[in-house]
Amino acid sequence: MNKKVRKAIIPAAGLGTRFLPATKAIAKEMLPIVDIPTIQYIIQEAVDSGIEEILIITNSNKHAMENHFDKNYELEERLKEAGKLEQVKMIQDIADMAN
């Protein structure tokens, strides 16, 4: 019997003390590599390997991570009005990566 892994759990609740002072204001998972947050690379790897559902364990101070993967209709509308359709697609793709 060959079962496919479809769910991933990513622990991301730490305080990031090894990366202080940078992590005092921003979660270590949101620190960018060039222009993409580290957590997005992790999620993309999981999705590319066939993962469909992802659970990120965070703490109550990591709203930026949740917001990064959530829909932002106001931002999408403003980008559309400005004719920035590539950027609209990019942020929609991030929100649609996985459940």
**Is 85 inside a domain boundary?**
no
**Is 79 inside a domain boundary?**
no
**Is 17 inside a domain boundary?**
yes
Contact between 71 and 95 (Cβ < 8 Å): yes
Rounded Cα distance between 7 and 40, Å, is 16
Q: What is the pLDDT of residues 16-72, one digit of tens each?
A: 899 999 888 889 999 999 999 999 999 999 999 999 999 999 988 888 888 999 999
Domain count, the chain: 1
**Is 86 inside a domain boundary?**
no
**Is 45 inside a domain boundary?**
yes
pTM of the model: 0.83
